[in-house]
Structures are given as C-alpha cells and as structure tokens.
Chain A
Amino acid sequence: AQSVSQHNHHVILSEAASLELGCNYSYGGTVNLFWYVQYPGQHLQLLLKYFSGDPLVKGIKGFEAEFIKSKFSFNLRKPSVQWSDTAEYFCAVMNSGGYQKVTFGTGTKLQVIP
C-alpha cells in the first residue's frame, strides 16, 4: 500500500523567508507525485506535479519541488514566501499503473506573517 508522510504540520514564517516542506512517500513501484494547495475556505488545487523527466519541477506562484528517488522524497520549496501563500499544502502520490488511486499526506498548514 502506498503512504505519504508530511512531517511539518504547522509552519510559521515571516514574509520573504524561504520555505521547504517535507514529503516522503512509500510505494514499491513507479509513482506520480503532486503538491496541492488549499487556500482558506477554498477547494484544493494543483500546485505542481512530477511524472517523469527532470526531477526538479516548477509550479505556479514560484513554487518548485524536487523528486529524489533514493530518498523517496518530494519536498516543496519557495525562495521567498508572501502573505498570500498562507494555506494548507498537501503532498500526494499516485501509482502510475493500474487504478488511479491518489493518497494524500496529512497536510502542512503554512502561516505567513506580514
């Protein structure tokens, strides 16, 4: 069975600080990896995804993530956060074959202080 761990449950940063949110997954096969963001009171939306190719993927709003296969990690980064980045961030993994089952991590609440 696949699983996803997000070790940071609540992160508080000042504006312009750099961000790195950890995500580790466990699954024996090939996976597709995602980061979703949920702004306060809104639904989840895709931030970025990795399927294959360059392990460093860039998403919207200046976010990027790096897939490190040997570490089973897919950490999310942003060099300088803004107050508007305050949201809940979810890492997700999907087995690339078979049924499209997506497993979400428990989420990381990011609070950016102006």
Chain B
Amino acid sequence: DTAVSQTPKYLVTQMGNDKSIKCEQNLGHDTMYWYKQDSKKFLKIMFSYNNKELIINETVPNRFSPKSPDKAHLNLHINSLELGDSAVYFCASSSRQGGDIQYFGAGTRLSVL
C-alpha cells in the first residue's frame, strides 16, 4: 500500500490549460504539503494544510489553488498554465506524533508545452 499517492505521475499539457493534481495519504497524518522541484532539483514549499486548514502559503501565483476536502487529501489546481510551471510537484504529509518526518509521494512531472 502506497502511503502517499499522487496522480497523475506525468502530465503533459499546453500553455493556458487548467489542470489538477491529486494527493492522498493513508498514514493518518494531519498535515499535508505541496512542493515544487525545479530542473535544478531545488525543492520549494508551496502550501501546507493542517486538518484541512491552510497554514502555509508561500509566494505562489494565485493561479495555484490548493484544496483539502479532508485531512487525507490535498489537491492542487493550476489555472492558465505557463511554461515556467514545468517542474516536478511533490505531495508530502507529516504529523507531530510521527516526529514531523515528511513522507513524500512519487511526484508528478508536469510539462507545459
């Protein structure tokens, strides 16, 4: 059983389109994250939700909108995709009881053409 699962694994789309990436964790964690990893492997936090509440919102264009229907899910919707959005997006989850260790999904490689 995959602890943190993301779909899709690959996403190729045209500029201007709207797309969503889904994330689910079955670890019982109360905090979930979205990270963006660029071509140089730099990993930057985008958002964090704790018990469905947004707690971290870094400087991210408002074309990116996270949604957490429940604490096991954190989806990322991106409007009007741009070339610079091409990256690998990682979902992660953690909990205080789990020692704040982040468990990452396999990543979604987004290519905007």
A interface vs B, CB < 8 Å? 32, 34, 36, 38, 42-46, 49, 51, 88, 90, 92, 94, 99-104, 106-107, 109
In chain B between 1 and 49, which residues have their CB closer than 8 angstroms to a CB of chain A? Answer: 31, 33, 35, 40-45, 48
| Pairwise interchain contact A100-B100, C-beta atoms closer than 8 A | yes
B102 close to A (CB within 8 Å)? yes
How close is B55's CB to chain A, nearest CB, in angstroms?
A: 5
B interface vs A, CB < 8 Å? 31, 33, 35, 40-45, 48, 50, 55-56, 90, 92, 94, 96, 99-102, 104-107
- In the complex, besides A99-B50, A103-B45, A107-B43, 17 extra interface pairs with C-beta distance below 8 angstroms are A36-B102, A42-B106, A43-B106, A44-B43, A44-B92, A44-B104, A46-B102, A49-B101, A99-B48, A100-B48, A100-B96, A101-B45, A102-B102, A104-B43, A104-B45, A106-B42, A107-B41
B contact patch SS: strand
How close is B27's CB to chain A, nearest CB, in angstroms?
A: 13
